Amino acid sequence: MIDKIKTLILNKDERSRAIQINTALNIIFRGGGVLCGFLLVPMALLYIDKTEYGVWLTLTSVTAWLSYMDVGLGNGLRNKLAEAIAQGNNTLAREYVSTTYVLFGAVMLGVFIVFALCNMFLDWNSILKTNINSRILLLTTYLIVLSFCVRLVLDLGGTVAVAMQKTYLRTLIDFSISLSTLISVFLLSKSTKPSFALFSGAVALSPVIVLICFNYIIYSKSKFSYLKPSIKFFRKNFIKSLFNVGIQFFFIQFVGIIIFSTDNVLITQFYSPAYVTSFNIAYKYFTIATISFTIIMMPYWSAYTHAYVANDINWINKAFKKLLTIWVIQVLGVILLIIGANLVYKLWVGDTITIPWSLSISLGVYSIVYNWNNIFAYFINGVSKIRLQLYSSIFVGVINIPLCYVLVKYTQLGVSSIVIANTLCLLVSSVWSPIQCYKIINNKATGLWNK
């Protein structure tokens, strides 16, 4: 049996073997991260009340918008670095890494300064419809944004790992962050009285500490040390090439702000922070489907870049067939998640949180559509043919919030209407993206399909 497994693996081409190894390790690390995330919810709800937890989730979803302030530099680096490595140009690779770190660091510094100047004029209690001590809430917002800005810059180390087709390092980072956060909250719950401020500090600082350690290791103690960012390797003339791809990714990501990161804010405004907690528990449960599929998809982005540069169309076609088969299997898995949802909620958080059946169904459908889109988006992103995706994203970004409002106002679906609006928006790209992939692979893409 062992010999058969070895033969199966060794007979694969190098690109496929790398994907197998990354997928296996991703399953382990991402599975550990999901487990930590599940354990964190009841532990947090025992330490702070559900309204404070809802406020925290809303604040972090707002600061998550900052992740799109890289103006697409992360994804621009990902593609450019993968191309440089495919060409065997290590000096060019280090120059791209160094230029991105310096440029992104300057952007994040500017973002924090602007936020710091504006934040003193914001009434967060009014915005979040809560009555937490105003001074504590203000200091918490400063801490969250500062830590998030630092985290985004340091997170480029994970982008470098993914571009080098070491996606398991990305999931290892995420697992380490989840584990350190869980341990921090556990220690707080055993040693201190309930405190929103202490909870916020622990959850905000844990990721920064983990990322500092990871960046030190990857650039000083690993075989990737030749990529160590340095101001000496900053190249002003590379900014344009990074931005050419990056700015398109930025606008596409900006739609991600509207569709994915405004949910908590919309729920808070249309309902209350308490509903945010219910929504996020259900959402986290159904991320089992999206995260599982993403684990499989993660190695393919940069692998597609390498294969496309090498004109290995046969490998790309095989990859699509494999992923479509896996997608059909995960549809059955989502159906099982829907059937068992209420039982899992009860075992997970008890009877303190009520989650409607309609929310579970809508999140299940959303997960299926989301995974379908990713099959094609990873290829399109990997080969940088994203102009059509850009235009589609702008259209979806314009209609998303009005669509949410209409469904909330004129239906009785409750929080589920937010999820349904998101799903309808995703269906737009579900139609055109498979067509574009077919055209590119078969060398039939012209005009907008090939930009």
What are the tens digits of pLDDT across the range 331-376? 999 999 999 998 998 888 777 777 888 899 999 999 999 999 999 9
pLDDT digits (tens, 9 = 90+) for 240-279: 777 777 677 777 777 776 666 677 777 877 777 777 878 8
Choice between 126 and 361, residue whose per-residue pLDDT is larger: 361
Q: Please give the average per-residue pLDDT across 57-84, as a whole number.
A: 72
Q: Is the pLDDT of residue 48 over 60?
A: yes
CB atoms within 10 A of CB 240: 8
Look over the chain and give the mean of its residue pLDDT values, rounded to a whole number.
Answer: 84
Q: Is the pLDDT of residue 70 over 70?
A: no
- Give CA–CA dist 276/44, Å, rounded: 14
- Residue keyed to tokens 């992923």: 323
Residue 69 pLDDT: 57
Residue 65 pLDDT: 60
Q: Considering the chain, what percentage of its residues have pLDDT values greater than 90?
A: 27
Q: Comparing 72-81, 173-182, 383-392, 440-449, which segment has the lowest mean pLDDT? A: 72-81
Q: Is the pLDDT of residue 2 over 60?
A: no
Q: Is the pTM of the predicted complex or chain greater than 0.85?
A: no
Taking the chain, what is the end-to-end CA distance rounded to the nearest angstrom? Answer: 47
Q: Is the pLDDT of residue 410 over 70?
A: yes
Q: 121: which DSSP letter?
A: T
Residue 67 pLDDT: 59
* Residue type (1 letter), 53: Y
Nearest to 95 by CA among 217, 231, 201: 231
Q: Is the pLDDT of residue 153 over 70?
A: yes
Question: Is the sign of the CA dihedral 343, 344, 350, 354 positive or negative?
Answer: negative
Helix (H, G, I), strand (E, B) or coil at 384: coil
Q: Please give the average per-residue pLDDT across 294-315, as a whole number.
A: 86
Q: Please give the average per-residue pLDDT across 52-61, as a whole number.
A: 77
Residue 260 pLDDT: 65
Residue 3 pLDDT: 46
Q: Comparing 152-161, 288-297, 338-347, 350-359, which segment has the lowest mean pLDDT? A: 350-359
Q: Is 12 left (phi over 0), alpha (psi -120 to 50) or beta?
A: beta
Say which residues have a Cβ less than 8 Å from residue 417's Cβ, sequence separation at least 6. Answer: 404, 407, 408, 411
Say which residues have a Cβ less than 8 Å from residue 224's Cβ, sequence separation at least 6. Answer: 160, 161, 164, 218
- Contact by Cβ (8 Å): 175, 30: yes
CB atoms within 10 A of CB 446: 9
pLDDT digits (tens, 9 = 90+) for 194-220: 888 888 888 889 989 999 999 999 898
Q: Considering the chain, what percentage of its residues have pLDDT values greater than 70?
A: 93
Residue 11 pLDDT: 45
- Give CA–CA dist 179/186, Å, rounded: 10
Residue 64 pLDDT: 61
pLDDT digits (tens, 9 = 90+) for 89-104: 889 989 999 999 998 8
147: tokens are 């830590």
Q: Please give the average per-residue pLDDT across 230-249, as a whole number.
A: 81
Give me the half-sphere count of Cα atoms (radius 13 Å) on the Cβ side of residue 348. Answer: 22
Whole-Å CA distances, 204 to 7, 119, 144, 145, 157 = 46, 18, 6, 9, 19
Domain boundaries along the sequence of the chain: 13-450
Residue 259 pLDDT: 67
pLDDT band at 1 (very low <50, low <70, confident <90, very high): very low
- Give CA–CA dist 54/427, Å, rounded: 29
pLDDT digits (tens, 9 = 90+) for 175-197: 999 999 899 989 988 888 888 88
- Give CA–CA dist 296/292, Å, rounded: 7
Residue 286 pLDDT: 93
Residue 9 pLDDT: 42
Instruction: Label residue 269 exposed, middle or buried (CB < 10 Å: 0-12, 13-18, 19+).
Output: middle
Q: Is the pLDDT of residue 12 over 70?
A: no
- Give CA–CA dist 85/163, Å, rounded: 9
